[in-house]
Each structure stands twice: as structure tokens, then as C-alpha cells.
Structure 1
Amino acid sequence: MVEDKGSGTVINWKRNLFILVVSQFLVISAMTMIIPFLPLYLQDLGVTDPSTLSIWAGVIFGANFLTAFLFSPFWGRMGDKYGRKAMILRSGFGMAVVISLTAFAIGPISLLLLRLLNGVISGFIPASIALVSTNTPKERVGYALGILQSGSVSGAICGPLIGGVLAQKFGYSMVFLITGFCIFIATLVVLFLVKEDFSSSEIKAKQLGNTLTEFKMVTARKPVMSLYVVIFLIQFAIMGVNPLLSIFVEELTSPESVAFFAGITLSVMGFANMLTSPILGRLSDKKGAQYVLIWSMLAVAVLSIPQAFVTDIWQLISLRFLIGLGLGGLLPAVNTLIRIHSPSGMESRTYGFSNSAMYLGTMIGPILGGVVISSIGIRGLFFVSALFLLINVAIVKRKVLPAANNYSGLEKGRKGEEVIAQN
């Protein structure tokens, strides 16, 4: 329980967590429903030339991340000023409308504009993370964020499967309407059932400035800047491989089964991630998120290398499952450390900048991954991914570990003083 001093009520953080896990599952499932058939929807909109189609599909897919990258710090600032729940509601209702309107797109340009707009108003997941991290007892934040990630990952696994079935049965336009409806329902659940402990103080209001000033204030706290680099490199290394994995699957299996095995290869990693996120989150609370982060990332880096030598599809699937087990400890651990080291009253802004770093990695990773494949082949891409993850391990060991250990020591000293004072 967390006491809301402004209202005198008691916030049940476990209840909030459960509701947001279910809501995130609905939102992520809904948003990923459209991924499998986006190029096919473009064909319905009149884009039939194969080379033009691939360009439009890439641009439209990335458009959402571009505007999300640009606007994430702004919405983080608004979250600190008006509350994280308000940002969840803003994003949820806004995306419900925009995605529903996508069903009525009349060409690739209108679809592109709607995707750009969707990125502008997005932020349901980052705001949920900020709300959970600031309304959960500090000693349980790792566990809570691990559980929250399980909801997101399970939604990402189910969404494309559900979207494929619905598109085949009802058509592409109807899937956008169903997606918008699902997000609307999830947002209504948050509106009526989630309670937030939030008060906008004068200190918080004074801290509001331009984006550059706030970025300097946030990154002045060690090791926040290093954590932003870490989260960028995680997304860069992972997303540099994931969207291009079907090319490698094509080498290992027959043409008629490529789609099936590509789906399994991606899904098993997500399933493993979902399994270990709560476990490693709980371990973060007990042993320290910095240690879970460094060992999980080392495991993912080392397991990435054997992928370059596989000769059978099931060898690849097995390795992707093991990598997924390690991935379950990465983002929850980083988000836990960001919560611990963020300046008081600027938590949402700190998460806003971290989400921009994540979106940047998500955009650049597939682009450079394609360049690597054209230069040294798909097997070489696994070595490049492992290299960046090992660089990330070095950054965590040198920059994050000392600051996190210093904070842990101060916290233990403070609690010891409280015990002495009570006695």
C-alpha cells in the first residue's frame, strides 16, 4: 500500500499493477495486430509496384517511432506536471481515435500522416511504467516492472497471431476498427479503476523548462546518461536482428514454411522473455538491478554468437528461446535503475528521455542491420549484435555499477540510522 497524502486515501499498488498489466496486454495486442499485414494493406490502397511497396512499408512502419522519439520528452514533462494517469488516458483515447481512422485511409500518404500522428500521441506504455514505478514501494519496483513487462510481451506475442486471423476473416480495415475499440476499452478500465498518488508541487512547477535544460538536469544525476546509452544499445542490438530474422530462416528451411518458422522463431523469444521478467524483476529487488542487468546482458551477448553457426532451424529456435530468457532481465532492470536515480519530481521526464533513446535504437537498428547484411551477410549480423551488447556490458560495469552500488550503500546506511533512532 502507498498512502496518498494529498487525498488521505491508500493506493493499492498491487491492484494498480494488475489492472495495468491487463490494459497493457490489450493495448500491445491491439497495436501489433496490424504489423503482419501492413504491406498488404498498402496494396489495397493502390501501392502495387514491389520496389515502391517496400519503401512505403519501411517509411510508414518507422514513422510512428520517429514522432514518438521526438515527442516522448514533452509528454514526460506533462506527466510530471499533470500526473502519469492523465498521460495514460491522453494516449489511450487519442490512439483509439487515430487507429480507428486508419481504417478509412485513402492512400499511402494519408496512412503515413496517421502513423505520424499516432506516434505524436503515443505513450500509453511509458506512462504506465512511470505510474507503476512511482506508486510502488521502492523495494518492490523491480518485481512490479518485471510483471508489467510480461503483460507487454504477452500482448506482442498474441497480437500478430490475432491480427492475422481477423484480417483473413473480416478484412484489413476492420482490424483497425477492432484495434481502436480494444485500446478504448483498456483506457476506460484505467480511467475508472487505477488510482494514482500524485501531487503537483511548486518545486515541480519550477523545474519545468525547455527540453535541453531538463535533459541537462536529468543527466546531471549519475548514472542516468549511461543508462540512456545502455537502453539505446539494447534496442539497437536486438531490433537490428529481429525484423531481418526471416531472411536467415529462409536459409534454414523450405520456402513454403518460411512464414511459419519465422513466426515461431520470434514468438519463442517473446515467450521466454515473458516467463523470466517477473523472476528477474524480483531478483533485482533482492540483489540489485545493476547485477541483474549486467549478467542478463552478458548472457544475451554470449548466446548471440552461436546463432551465426547454426545449420538447422531448431538450433536457431532453441538459441532464440535462451536469448529470450536473458532479455527478461534487461528493460525491467534499466527502468528500475532509472526510477532509483531520477531527480525527485522529474520521474516522468526522466522516463520520457529514456523512451526517446529506446525509440531511436528501434529506428536505427533495422536500418544498420540491413547495411550489415548487404556487406557481410546475415550471419555476420549476429557477431555485430553481440559486439554492441558486450560494449554495453562494459558501460554498465564501468559507469552504472559504481553509482548503483554507492546508492545501495547510502540506502542501507539511512535505514540503519532509522532503526537506531526508533530504538
Structure 2
Amino acid sequence: MTKAGGDAATDETRNWRLNLALLWAGNFLVTGSATMVIPFLPLYLEELGVPDGGGSGLWAGAIFAAHYVSLFVCQPIWGRLADRYGRKPMLLRASFGMAVVMAMMGFAATPLQLLLLRLLNGAFAGFSPSATAIVSTNTPPERIGMAMGTLHSGNIAGTVTGPLIGGLLAEWIGLRGVFSVTGAVMLLAAVGTALWVKDYRKPGAGGETDASSVLGGLRVLCRTKEIPALLAVSMMIQFALTGSLPFIPLFVKELHGDGELLALFVGLVSSVTGVSNMLFAPLLGRLSDRTDPRRVLLCSMGGACLVAVLHLAATAYWQLLALRFLLGLCIGGLIPTVRTLLKQYVPKGMETRAYSFDTSAVSLGSVLGPLLSGASFGWIGLRGVFLLTACLMLLNACWTWKRLGWPRSSPIGARGAAEQANKPI
């Protein structure tokens, strides 16, 4: 009996790196495929007969938001099922489901059909929360921060490269063909997950008796005072990113002028945040393993607030480019650290639900960011949008500090503790 348990533990320890590599690739393929088509929705609407103008913008906004609305509603439900029946089935449900729905979008004949398919796509989505839960529970504790940062970098790599690949494919095979390629790539991620990803935690292990419903699970999670603060951080990160994105072209135009290479300069500023996020997330995750994740989180939040304020003083294009790079660096220390801390605070057996609620918080930020920033733009102006973001982030940072506290000592981290314990006396 003991030997069997020891063999299972050995297999789990041996394969966590393989799991991480496979799920990184899955995150990259799923996110990259999804972002292949998002920038071209207005163009696709023209093919569907929507005339250019106010109607086109309304349809594009509704279709873009539809995914996040259904994602926000459905993620906690999938998380509950994952904790009860297993995380790998949820990975397969998400990847196979999205593969079919994405391919179907290429056959849409009306804007309404495309809107309904986007809603269905958001309902099926949820690869990342289950992948995060598998990595968090199957990775050695002293490597959690590094693993979370690496896994998150797969999402960012997909976000950065997806639009570029989508643009090239659209020129080659047309917009409808891009949807077929997207479905095929997601199918590839599903097959790889089915064949090689291992989840060693038994379904239903450690579940809470009063968490049988979605709201019951949320109540259980919120009994731990740190969890609502961490979910608010996830929402605020996405609010800051999506709330400012619609105004980046205007900001670049103000600094650079309406001259040559304007589109290129806008593209560089829009992508540099994702590039720095992808580069620094694994490094800051590794740092949180060696120190205290709370320290990395609070320092990154303070840095993000400062960078947002400095947008008000930007007078040259290179300054804006540098600020967006620094913002990506700070966010690289936020998202993986939030997920590392969630693993520490969440009740055992509710990991996937916690990460699903985290994804719902991100979706809420994706919807609220453009809405609130757009509504306030007329009163506070272009730079005022960044000041609003900074103020909200500062309030969020203060609340998080109060809930989590600042480490009084200088802990050496889980990895350092393990290394020190193995030293000879």
C-alpha cells in the first residue's frame, strides 16, 4: 500500500515538468487561436452585410463582449464540475468545444449567428483555469511561482502572436478560412491534452460539503478574507489593460502626429506590454518562490500604479513605449503571483473553482474596462483615463495590503526553505 502511494508520488514528481510544458503549449495554441480572429471582426461583419458606420461598431462591440459575458457566467459552473469530476475532462470539454464553435464561425451568414456563436464560445471556454489548477496541485510547492509564471507566459505568447498570424492567414486564405484554421489548431491542443496530460489528484478529493452549488462555493471561498482581494486584483489588472487599449491610437497620434508609420507605432505600443509581460512573468514567479509572493504582489501593484500615473507626463513617443513596457513588467508580477497565492489560501479540493472565479473576475474586468473608460472619456479626457485607472488600482492595492498584510520578516520562500532543510548540520 505504502509502496503504491510512493510510486504515485514519484510519478507525479517526475511528470510535473512534462505537464507544465504540455499545458503551456495548450495555453499558447488556444489563446493564439482565439486572438487570430478578434482583430478582424469588423472586417468580417462587412462580409456579412453590415454597412460601415455606427451599426458596424455596435455589432462589433456586442460580438466582442459576448464571449466575456458567457465566460463570466459559465466559468464557476465548469470549475465546480472540475473539482467534482476531474480537471482533465474540463480541459477536453473546453478545447474540443471551442474547436467546433470556432470552425462554425466561418460559416456564419448573419451578424446574429456570429453573436450567438461567440456566446457559445465563451460558454465552452475554460482551458486556462483547469490547466492552472492541474499545474498548481501537481507541481512541487517550491516551484509553484515559477510554474505559474511560465504557464501564464503561454497565454501572453498566444495573445501577442495570434493577431500577426491571423493577419497573414487572412491575406492568404481569407477571413472565413482563418476560422477553419483556428478550429484545427484548437483540435490539435485537445488531442495533445487527451494523450499526454496527467492529473494526479482524484476527482472530488477534499471538497467542501456546503459548496455543492456555485454560490455555495463562492461563499466558502470568500470566508477566507484574502481570496476576494486576490480576485479583485485580477479584475483590476484586466480593467487597466482593456480600459486603456481603445485610446492607445489616440495617444500615439497625439505624441507622434498624423504622419507616416502611424499604424506601425500604434502596433508596437499595443504589443510591447504583452512582450514584457511574457518575458518577466516566469522570472518574477521564480522570485516569489524565493521570497514571499505577497511582497512581489504588492510591489508589482505599487509599480503598476506609478507607471499609470506617469502616462500623464508622457511628451514623446519613446516615453509612452517605455511606460507600456514597464506596465507589462509589473503585470508579469501580478497574474502569476495572484494564482500562486490563491493556491495557498483556497480550501483543498476547490482549486479549479477558485481559478474559475478568477477567470470570471478577469472577464468582468474585460467588460467594465472599455465601458467605464469610454463613458468617462468625454469628461476627463485622454490622459484622465490613465489617471482614473491609477486611482482605482491604488484603492485596490490598499485593500489588498490590508487583507494580505506586508511580510514582517524576510522569508526565504518555499524553495529556499526546502534547500535549507536539506543542508547538513
**TMscore range, shorter length:** over 0.9
- Whole-Å separation in 2 of the counterparts to 1:200 and 1:18: 23
Which residue is equivalent to 1:196?
Answer: 199
Instruction: Give deviations 1:260-304, integer Å, cap 9, x for gaps.
Output: 212110111111111110110011111111110110111111011
Structure 1: distance between partners of 2:254 and 2:168? 27
Q: Which amino acid aligns with 1:28?
A: T
Match of 1:68 in 2: 71
Q: Residues 181 and 299 (structure 1 numbering): CA distance in 2 closer, same or farther, change over 3 Å?
A: same
Residue 157 to residue 77, structure 1, CA distance change in 2 (3 Å): same
Normalising by structure 1, what TM-score? Answer: 0.92
Structural mapping, 1:179-194, within 5 Å: 179-194=182-197
**1:194 & 1:49 partners in 2: Cα distance?**
45
Deviations 1:132-152 (A, max 9, x none): 111112221111000011111
Q: Which of 68, 79, 83 does residue 80 from structure 1 map onto?
A: 83
Superposition map of 1:70-219 within 5 A: 70-201=73-204, 204=207, 206-219=209-222
Aligned sequence identity (%): 42
Show the 5 A alignment for 1:3-402: 5=5, 8=8, 10-11=11-12, 12-201=15-204, 204=207, 206-253=209-256, 254=258, 257-401=261-405
Which secondary structure does the structure 1 equivalent of 2:207 belong to?
helix
The answer as to whether partners of 2:205 and 2:349 remain within 8 angstroms in 1 is no
Return the offset for 1:5. Answer: 4.4
Q: Is the 8 A contact 1:6 1:199 kept in 2?
A: no
Q: Structure 1's 113 and 214: CA in aligned 2 closer, same or farther, altered over 3 A?
A: same
Task: Give the counterpart letter for 1:118 in structure 2.
Answer: N
Amino acid at match of 1:193: W
How far 1:205 moved relative to its partner? 7.6
Change (3 A) 1:355 1:201: closer
- State how far apart, in whole Å, the 2-side matches of 1:6 and 1:129 are: 25
Distance 1:175 1:400, change over 3 A: same
Q: Alpha-carbon deviation of 1:204?
A: 2.6
**Which has the larger displacement, 9-18 or 337-346?**
9-18
Structure 1 residues 376 and 300: alpha-carbon distance in aligned structure 2, compared to 1, 3 A threshold:
same
1:192 positional shift: 0.7
Aligned-residue offset at 1:375? 1.4
The letter for the 2-side match of 1:72 is Q
Which secondary structure state, in structure 1, belongs to the residue aligned with residue 198 of structure 2? coil
Q: Distance in 2 between matches of 1:195 and 1:251?
A: 51
Counterpart of 2:369 in 1: which secondary structure?
helix
Instruction: Give distance in 2, aligned partners of 1:111 and 1:258.
Output: 31
| Contact 1:238–1:385 (CA under 8 A) maintained in structure 2 | no
Aligned equivalents of 1:289 and 1:188: distance in 2? 34
Q: Structure 2 vs 1, CA of residues 205 and 318 (structure 1 numbering), >3 Å: closer, same or farther?
A: closer
Residues 81 and 205, structure 1, Cα contact 8 Å, conserved in 2: no
Q: Call closer, same or farther: CA 1:4–1:287 in 2, change over 3 Å.
A: farther
Distance in 2 of aligned mates of 1:230 and 1:32: 23
- Structure 1 gaps of 5+ residues are none
| Whole-angstrom CA distance in 1 between matches of 2:270 and 2:292 | 29
Assess if the C-alpha contact under 8 Å between 2:237 and 2:331 holds in 1: no
Distance 2:254 2:205 in 1: 60
Paired residue secondary structure (2:362): helix
Most deviating of 31-40 and 237-246: 237-246
Change (3 A) 1:405 1:363: farther
**Residues 52-94 of structure 1: CA distance to partner in whole angstroms, max 9, x if unpaired?**
0001000000000000000010000011012111111110000
Which amino acid is the alignment partner of residue 235 of structure 1? Q
**Shift in Å at residue 251 of structure 1?**
2.1
Q: Secondary structure at the match of 1:198?
A: coil
CA-CA distance at 1:201 after TM superposition: 4.2
Q: Quick one: structure 1 residues 4 and 317, their matched pair in 2 at CA, closer, same or farther if it must change by over 3 Å?
A: farther
Cα distance in 2 between the residues matched to 1:189 and 1:22: 9
Query: 8 Å contact 2:83–2:204 — kept in the other structure?
Result: no
User: What TM-score results when the alignment is normalised by the length of structure 2?
Assistant: 0.92
Q: Secondary structure at the match of 1:204?
A: coil
Q: Distance in 1 between matches of 2:270 and 2:114?
A: 27
Conservation of the 8 A alpha-carbon contact between 1:72 and 1:356 = yes
Distance 1:135 1:152 in 2: 20
Alpha-carbon distance between aligned partners in 2 of 1:121 and 1:305, rounded to the nearest angstrom: 38
Question: Structure 1 residues 204-213 or 78-87, which shifts more?
Answer: 204-213
Structure 1 window deviating more from structure 2 (88-97 vs 374-383): it is: 374-383
* Mapped contact 1:230–1:395 kept (Cα < 8 A): no
Count matched residues.
Answer: 415
**1:325, CA displacement in angstroms?**
1.3
| Residues in 2 aligned to 1:290 and 1:136: alpha-carbon distance in whole angstroms | 20
